[in-house]
Amino acid sequence: MLAENSKAPDFTLKNAAEQDVRLSDFAGKQNVVLYFYPKDLTPGCTVEALAFSALGKDFEQAQTKVLGISMDSCEKHQKFIEKKELTVELLSDPEGKVCELYGVFKEKSMYGKTFMGIERSTFVIDKEGVIRKVYRKVNPAGHAEKVLEFVKKGL
């Protein structure tokens, strides 16, 4: 399990436009908020994506890039972005490799059934690639605002 003040594992994933996005590309330039979420176009995930999108300019002013990651396809991300008019960048991790790397692919339960899925989690990474804050079992309501507040305080 990744902890605060540890080095963030580098990765390369495709965004909705099927372009490669590499975490290390932001090193020395921008902080990064990596938020992992279960599924496009579901209620909680929509709330979270809309909030991060609405605060996009504020994160930009704080020199911070917001990246959402789920196991949905690039095509599904594109539909999510278009349908909800999102401005946040979404990355596709179809095999769950980055989810595993960050320890967010876990056993979950719903209606008495257990299954493997993404635990809603957020990692705030500074310009040096160090994880400065970890949020686990995130409640989407008000979460983007809390993350922005943390980022504005300075990493």
Tell me, what amino acid is at 13?
L
Q: Is 74 a catalytic residue?
A: no
Dihedral angle computed from the Cα positions of residues 151, 72, 108 and 121, in that order, rounded to the nearest 10 degrees = 0
DSSP code at position 26: G
Helices (H), 39-108: 43-54, 56-61, 74-84, 97-101
Of 45, 74, 88, 144, catalytic = 45
- Active-site residue set: 45
